[in-house]
Amino acid sequence: MEHTFSTEEIEQYQYVPVNSAQAYRDRMFFLLEEVNRVMDARDDLDRLIGNNPRSRMYDNHRNHAAFMATVFALNNYGMLLSVVPWVYRAYASQGFSYDYFPVHLRAWQKVLEENLPPDDAAPLKGIYGRLIASHETFIALSRETTFLEIPAGNSRREEATVRFLEAVLRGDSATSLTISSEQVAGAADLEDFYQWVVRPTMYRVGEMWERGEISVAKEHLASAVVNRILAAHYLDFVMKSDPTRGTVIVAASANEFHEIGARMVASAFELDGWNVEFLGADTPVEDLLEMVAEKRPFVLAVSATMPFNIEHVSRIIERVRALPVWVRPKIMIGGLAFRHLSDPSGLLGANGYAGDCAQAVDLVRKWSGEVIE
């Protein structure tokens, strides 16, 4: 289980007014360059970042800014407090000193004070102040082993999942294909296989990586084998289905490199008769809009796994909603990034959110008028 803070702890974070959140978001890229400059000027920077390349620190600042823009816009401090210990853990495990975090947060306070009107800066600085005050708690929590919950399995598939996990971790594509072929006799089995074999396998891989039990190379190997298996089943069962309905575009947002979940959702739509354009990971907003204009999809389905990419999803939604109504697709969002939000589509202005392939297919059926509510 991920650690969650009590309501009282969360309520100590003061509500940020819309103007302040907007000022932060509008000037985010400028502010972040300023933070980089303040950090670069420090004599002790190499010690703080554990002699990592500076690019790693810049990446963190970029992701931090995008994440905070979402937190301020949604005033969602539960999400903030669940993610910060994880950030501490991730960067500390790469050699960053714990001292880096309050230094970084103070740099934000300074830059906000110097660059935003005082009324806009004050509430934002207040949130940073609270984070700095909780530094010791974040260190303690980052040392606790708290992991994403792995969804309880489908008992019919559990034994296969254990064998599949072992095979993908060995990089053994042949055995992985044998196991998956036992599970998938035809197109009708695919969705269940995705949900109850592939998904728990990859969640387990993530947990093992986070525990330090497997290297990044092993995770890459496992992901590559899974992608081959998905491709093999795609050729056997999905591609044959004749698209009889409109177009659905499935893409992961900009800066989002997780694509296996989106790939599975794309196949589920295709199996349901849609003509699917699957764009994979890290799709730039402008290019995505160009494709929307060209293909005129009925649905644009956007995936995000990392909480700091919700900001990119939100920019896609804004741009799509500004399109004339006759070319505007319905927007569906999904992926692990939204797990901290109780009503992700309502908050972000999408038409709907789905948690897995089956829900995604049901929602599109509903939108296309096949299911009467």
- Which residues are paired to 276 by β-bridges? 248
CB of 194 to ligand B12, least distance (A): 6
- Least Å distance between CB 251 and ligand B12? 9
**What token pair was written down for 165?**
């996990």
User: Please, which residue, 59 or 114, has the CB nearer to ligand B12?
Assistant: 59
CB of 18 to ligand B12, least distance (A): 27
- Which residue, judged by CB position, is nearest to ligand B12 in the bound state? 334
User: Three-class SS of residue 260?
Assistant: helix
In the complex, least distance from residue 116 CB atom to ligand B12, rounded to whole angstroms: 27
At its nearest, how many Å lie between ligand B12 and the CB of residue 317?
Answer: 12
Least gap, CB of 65 to ligand B12 (angstroms): 14
Nearer to ligand B12, 116 or 230 (CB): 230
- Of 90 and 293, which CB lies nearer to ligand B12 in the complex structure? 90
Give the distance, in angstroms, between the CA of residue 140 and the centroid of all CA atoms in the same chain.
25
Closest to ligand B12 by CB, 112 or 361: 361
List of residues contacting ligand B12 (CB under 6 A): 83, 86, 90, 148, 194-195, 198-199, 202-203, 205-207, 210, 219, 223, 255-262, 264-265, 301-303, 305-307, 332-336, 354, 356-357, 360
Contact of 39 with 45, CB cutoff 8 Å: yes
Indicate the burial class of 130 (C-beta count within 10 angstroms; 0-12, 13-18, 19 or more): middle
What gap in Å lies between CA 69 and CA 63, rounded to an integer? 10
Structure tokens at 191: 């969705």
- Extract the tokens encoding 351: 């038409």
Select 30 or 257, whichever has its Cβ closest to ligand B12: 257
123 vs 200 by CB, closer to ligand B12: 200
- β-sheet bridge partners, residue 250: 278, 301
> Is 72 or 91 the residue whose CB approaches ligand B12 more closely?
91
Angle, nearest 10°, between helix axes 155-170 and 173-183? 170
Bridge partner residues of 280 (DSSP): 251
Least separation in angstroms between CB 184 and ligand B12: 15
- List the strands of the sheet with 352-353, edge to edge: 275-280, 247-252, 299-303, 330-334, 352-353
The helix-helix angle for 77-93 and 118-133 (nearest 10°) equals 60
